[in-house]
Structure formats: C-alpha cells, structure tokens
Amino acid sequence: MTDFSILDLVPVREGESLTSAFDAARDLAIAAERAGCKRFWVAEHHAMEGIAGGATSVVLAHIGNATSRIRIGSGGIMLPNHSPFQIAEQFGTLDALFPGRIDLGLGRAPGAGPELQRALRKDLHRAAEMFPQDVVELRALFAGEAEVRATPGAGANLQMWILGSSLFGAQLAARLGLPYAFASHFAPDHLDNALMIYRRDFQPSEACEKPHVMAAMNLFAADTEEAAHTLASSQLQAFVALRTGRPRKLQPPIKGYRESLPAQAQAMLAHIGQASAIGTPRQVAEDIRAFKARTQADEIVLAGPTFDPAARIRSLELTMDALADAVAA
C-alpha cells in the first residue's frame, strides 16, 4: 500500500502576513494528519518573500505542537548552508520534543547567489562539494560517534533521507543505505534514471534494509477540472516569476492563466509540471495511480500551494477520499 505525505513551502500569500503563512501551514498539517498522511515536510528556502520556511526547525516545532501522530520533517535542509553539528542539535531537539516523529531530509543545492552567501558567511559552492562528508559526519553525530558529542543530538531516533533532483543524490543515498526522495514535482528530467540507479546500487544499512523511494507530485483537485486548473494557476505564476528572476509572494489564481502565456512559457510549465495531478477527484486519483505504476514509489509526497489555504485542504481531502474509494472498489 502506498503512503502519502505533504510537502509545504509555507507560502506567503499576497496581502497576507508571515503569521498567516505559519497558521496555514499548521492547519494543513492538522488536515493531513486527519486524512491519514504519513509525513508533513517543510522545505528550507532563503531570501524569498513568498516562502516562509527558512528557519525550518522552528517551523517544524510549530507543526509538531499542533499535531500528535504524523511524522514531521525537512524536505529538505540544505546542508551546505549549515554545519552538521548545528543540524544535529536542532533535529536532536525536535526528536526530544516529538519522539519517533522526526525526519531529516538533506539536500546539497545551495540555491544561493553571492549576496546570500555573504549573509550566511559561507562559501556555499565549496560547502556543496563537502555534502557527502557532511552527511556521514551528521550520521556519526546522531550515533554519538563523533569527536564532539551533540547534546541534544546524540542518540536521536530520527530518519535521515537524501533528497535530490539529479543522479548525484541517488548515488549517495544508495551508497549510504538511506531512503531517497526525488523532487519530480519541479525537476522531472532525471526521475526514472535516478530511481533505477538508486535501486540497482543500494547497499543495505542499519537505517534501511532495502531501497525506499519517495517521489513528489503536484496536486490540485476540485469539483471540476476547470476549477482545479484555476487553483493551480497560483503555483504556475510562482514558477514563471522564479524562472524570470522576479520571485514574489503567492498570487491569487487567474482563470485561463496558462493559455494567456506565450508559447515558450507554456512549454516551460508543461515540462516542469510533468509530475502533476490536476482535475476532479477521479482524474487526480487516476494520475496518481499512473505515477505510482511508473515509479513504483513506496511513498508519494504531494506539493501544490493554493492562494486560499482552505482550497488546498479540500484538494487533499477530495484526493484521499477518491484514492480510498478506488482501493475499496
């Protein structure tokens, strides 16, 4: 049976506050737990006015306090931005606060220009080259086997994941025997090859006896196909703004937005949105089942911000009900 989870960027909506963004993330996590989702992940981004998950561990504490069963974690922490010791302390603290519920997904993409590198006091591109060694060091810190003992951190009972959108992460996750999550919701190009390499080269470890794959999809479900595509237009606007170097807060939906764009922009959106389920509950359930058949993923994590937070909760509920009905049938 496939598990379903939620990836939230904690979007800041046009005209709304950071407090509203954190409240919406909390409400979505509560709804995800109620709907039977396995995990709720928050992604680290910096210096983007439309994304509020920069202090990821703090946001996760907010989510953890509002929920009781669902696993919570990072999707992911960009390790080049930090020292392994700092992350061991932060996620060791989360594990102590919410025992048995913490995931630590790790990525190596710095995702930063010169200004952010200076603000973080880091040579992020050099730090990215150290990513494999830093993952090994972080694992040693959690095991209490590092030169310096992390308190909190040592002995933490959490799950470490490698995240990726290329073949590099697949190779590293296989070598270290860690579960692997692929960011196919915005970078689908290497999905099939990455999963093949990960499964082929996987080396069992104490953390993971056999390959374990999570793949990401965008999800927008509504009563009608037209309404679902309108919901999705807020994310499409965010993609276009990002790719044209003008990121901003999440914008209200625009009916017929994709069709209003020039052909080049439409092609870009079609390409990066290959792993998407947009439509009625029946349609999205069919798309999710097809994606599962293609990837053979153990878990599917669902992304897809909406301008109206309640619309995303309803999208999730409609989808989970449709998937349950399909299994029952």
Indicate whether 329 pLDDT > 70.
no
Going by pLDDT thresholds of 50, 70 and 90, the confidence category of residue 58 is: very high
pLDDT attached to residue 245: 87
Q: pLDDT-based confidence at 310, cuts 50/70/90?
A: very high
Residue 120 in tokens: 């973080």
Q: Which residues pair with 302 in a beta bridge?
A: 6, 217
What are the Cα distances from residue 5, in Å, to 38, 53, 63, 201?
5, 17, 14, 26
3-state secondary structure of 17: coil
Structure confidence at residue 116 (pLDDT): 78
CB 182 within 8 A of CB 165: yes
Q: How confident is the model at residue 37 (pLDDT cuts 50, 70, 90)?
A: very high
Check pLDDT > 70 for residue 327.
no
Tens digits of per-residue pLDDT, 189-215?
999 999 999 999 999 999 999 999 999
The answer, yes or no, to whether residue 16 has pLDDT greater than 70, is: yes
Lookup: tokens for 152: 């909190």
Residue with tokens 């965008």: 218
**pLDDT tens digits, one per residue of 95-109:** 999 999 999 999 998
Round to whole Å and give the CA distance between 131 and 81.
10
- State yes or no: pLDDT of 119 exceeds 90: no
Per cent of the chain over pLDDT 90 is 90
With bands split at pLDDT 50, 70 and 90, how would you rate the model's confidence at 113? Answer: low
Report CA 168 to chain centroid distance, whole Å. Answer: 18
Q: pTM for the full model? A: 0.96
Domain ranges of the chain: 3-328
Q: Is 81 helix (H, G, I), strand (E, B) or coil?
A: helix
pLDDT score for 112: 59
List the beta strands (DSSP E) in the chain. 3-8, 39-42, 71-78, 102-107, 159-164, 180-182, 213-221, 276-279, 299-303
Lowest mean pLDDT among 121-135, 140-154, 233-247, 272-286: 121-135
CA–CA dist 95, 157 (Å, integer): 7
Q: Which two tokens stand for residue 35?
A: 């709907």
- What is the rounded CA–CA span in Å between residue 265 and residue 206? 46
- CA dist 177 and 154 (Å) reads 20
Q: Is 3-328 a CATH 3.20.20.30 domain?
A: yes
Q: How confident is the model at residue 120 (pLDDT cuts 50, 70, 90)?
A: confident
* % of the chain with per-residue pLDDT over 70: 98
Q: What is the reported pLDDT for 223?
A: 98
pLDDT band at 127 (very low <50, low <70, confident <90, very high): confident
* Length in residues, the chain: 329
Closest by Cα among 263, 168, 275, 265 to 219:
275
238-289: pLDDT as tens digits? 999 998 889 999 999 999 999 999 999 999 999 999 999 999 999 999 999 9
Determine the pLDDT at residue 239.
95
